[in-house]
Structure 1
Amino acid sequence: MSTSSTRETERDRPDGPAPETAMPARRLTAGASQRIGLLVAIAALVVFFGSARSSFYNQQFSIFPLLQDIAIFTVVGLSQMAALSIGHMNLAVGRMAAFSAMFMGLAFQDWHLPLYAGLAVGLLAGAAIGALTGWVISTTGVNSFVVTLAMDFALLGLVSLVYSQFTTAAAFTAKPVGMEGLRTYSLADLCAGPVCGSPAVPQILLFTVVAMLLVGYLYARSRTGRELLLVGSNITAARLSGIPAGRRVVFAHALSGTLAALAGFMLAVTSGSFTAGIGAEFMIPSFLGPVLGGTLLTGGGVSVIGTLLGTSLVQVIHQGLTTMGIGLESLNIYLGVILLLALSTDRIRSLVVTRRAAAAR
């Protein structure tokens, strides 16, 4: 599920197609090579950490929570990827998750809605706040960095105010039917037999799979997805082509807010309550996953599978270092270095492409 706004196409030659024996060997694209490299790195790290500490392979205490984290932060990465696809950033991704989770908590505790009805309320809240952000950016022309940063502070105050007014312990603790099962049960608990999955695979991973399929279809198969990528590549050219760039900006941020809401729900389910602090740790992972996976910071190119692999790499490193007893301060240093390397990949890729183009002349 990787796509970009430009694709190489073969054009008819005036003298007919070249003979098959004269065609050069097909090479992997840069995106495919990057994803394969991520997959190899993840496998190598799993073997390394498992060899260093056998407890890394413990299904209940290591693998199960690791897959939960991968599921949550992959959705967080998809949320940021939606904004990056048009060349924007969403610095309020964590606060949007908290804002949406606040509505879910209200729905469960005060409105007594069932689990998925409350989730729908939260997703609508995320879409609304994301659409509002996109509308402000599109209408004012202010950089997305500034607008989303301002939205982050505004939501921080609003969420804190609501929790202080409507809760006594700074959390909505109501648990609708089915929430505890999502937190503790694996795919193997859905039915009897091996066909249902491994006991180490959490049920909450299903939300991530659905989100990846829908987002992947949007960008790879739909007209709206192609228009989003064209806006990210060159918004002026997109407007001249008749694409409603303003509406696509609003849509991209609404999608980002919706996915942030889903991530907030998943985090609340795994933690057992809806608190004002939900999403506070989303900022760095939201960039790490998609950028490591091949999504362009400048817009115009995304990778859903790459976002999953980039997130998995970060979480495997995090879980492995935690298993080996590395402290929180050292973990933050390692994650900062990874982020720096991730943000450098765009520049490295452009240099490689430039040198290859020069060598081909």
Structure 2
Amino acid sequence: MAEGGVTVLTDPEPQTGRRPPAARRGRWVLRALTGQRAGLAVVVVVLIIVFGTLRPAFYDSRLVVFPLLRDIATLTVVGLAQLAVLSIGHLNLAVGRMAAFGALVSGFSYQVLGLNLVLGLLLGLLAGAAVGALAGLIITSTGVNSFVVTLGLDFALLGLVTLVYGQFTTLAAFTVKPPGMEELRSFSLADLCAGDLCGSPAVPQLLLLTVVAMAGVGYLFARARTGREMLLTGSNATAAELSGVPTNRRVIGAHTLSGLLSGLAGFMLAVTAGSFTAGIGSAFLIPSFLGPVLGGTALTGGAVSVIGTFMGISLTQVIQQGLTMLGVGLESLNIYLGLILLVALSTVRIRQLFARRRSS
């Protein structure tokens, strides 16, 4: 079942008679998630008004709004990378290192191989997808929990990425910028046709990559059979297998998608920073959970929300930007973000309890 960016797996309804409990629960969860997403939108708007009133510079299109939207674009892709594995009830603790590895391959292709912007991006995406597929293959072949596998992979990639940068660079960074990279970093949609007809000067071109990623992931889980089978695997792996779903392949596919999106996020962060370094993705882990969980994606699998992920990331970034402009220090910001994550996780548990009571 898909509606308004929220995809929830439910059992089919019978032709006649009363709707079964699972279907009633699915309907209720869908309404709850849709309401949660609308609530997030209201909170984001209210916070923008509050911060703009307290600090009018918050509305500055080039100095505040443009970089804010650019950060939201990158972190939304990170959230989608985590959402991909959350759909099957798994976790990806290596999302940041996968981003660093994808960025490493892209940077290597630019500086050492001399490839253009698009080919380097494609190689980075393939590298991220390959690492994600490896994680999924280890999980399905050994039966080890995704938490353990991705945690181990995180440490392995940390050493590998650092080693490669040390071997091929002197400043631990690939700094060659292929044609088009600087424009992607600093140009807005209005610059596409040298006028405001193409969009606002406050909307970065980098946001287009996020829109493409959101559209692809949204279509996968809302319309494609593969995405529906991923949700079924996350909802009940045993039932999915008995129904003929190739659960192992869906697990590998979900982790492959997570790695691919992580590689895209790593590329986007490197474009924003202006260089490819080993530190890319080191701060991705918490936002990767905050966005999907705040947006309504279930930690136990079976329910995802692409638009909700975008709204969740927008909320956290607006709060962070607003508090920064109000003079709140970095340590306090981390405390606030941690509290938001705890509240989000508690909200997920409360929703599950209400869903069970309503279904019974």
Written as runs of structure 1 = structure 2, the 5 A alignment for 1:259-338 is 259-338=261-340
**How far off its partner does 1:10 sit?**
6.4
Distance 1:7 1:217 in 2: 20
Distance 1:264 1:343 in 2: 26
Equivalent in the alignment of 1:229: 231
Contact 2:29 2:355 in 1 (8 A): no
Question: Which letter does structure 1 place at the counterpart of 2:133?
Answer: A
**Deviations 1:136-183 (CA, angstroms, capped at 9, x unpaired):** 000000000000000000000000000000010010000000000011
2:216 partner SS: helix
Written as runs of structure 1 = structure 2, the 5 A alignment for 1:25-174 is 29-174=31-176
Distance 1:194 1:160 in 2: 43
**Deviations 1:257-294 (CA, angstroms, capped at 9, x unpaired):** 00000000000000000000000000000000000000
Question: Which letter does structure 2 place at the counterpart of 1:194?
Answer: D
1:3 partner SS: strand
**How far off its partner does 1:13 sit?**
4.5
Indicate the structure (1 or 2) with the bigger Cα radius of gyration: 1
- Unaligned runs of 5+ residues in structure 2 are 19-27
The one of 3, 14, 19 aligned to 2:7: 3
Residue 263 of structure 2 corresponds to residue 253 of structure 1: no
**Deviations 1:107-139 (CA, angstroms, capped at 9, x unpaired):** 000000000000000000001000000000000
Distance 1:96 1:256 in 2: 9
Equivalent in the alignment of 1:23: none
2:343 partner SS: helix
Moved over 2 A (4+): 7-14, 192-195, 351-358
Q: 1:81 to 1:44 in 2, by over 3 A?
A: same
Distance 1:28 1:228 in 2: 18
Question: Which letter does structure 2 place at the counterpart of 1:179?
Answer: M
Question: Which letter does structure 2 place at the counterpart of 1:217?
Answer: Y
Distance 2:258 2:344 in 1: 21
* TM-score normalised by length of structure 2: 0.94
Contact 2:75 2:284 in 1 (8 A): yes
**How far off its partner does 1:7 sit?**
5.5
Distance 1:113 1:53 in 2: 44
Distance 1:158 1:194 in 2: 45
Contact 2:136 2:252 in 1 (8 A): yes
Equivalent in the alignment of 1:12: 16
**How far off its partner does 1:78 sit?**
0.1
Equivalent in the alignment of 1:204: 206
Distance 1:13 1:103 in 2: 57
Distance 2:30 2:17 in 1: 24
Percentage identity across paired residues of the two chains: 66
Matched length: 347
2:291 partner SS: helix
Contact 2:95 2:285 in 1 (8 A): yes
* TM-score normalised by length of structure 1: 0.94
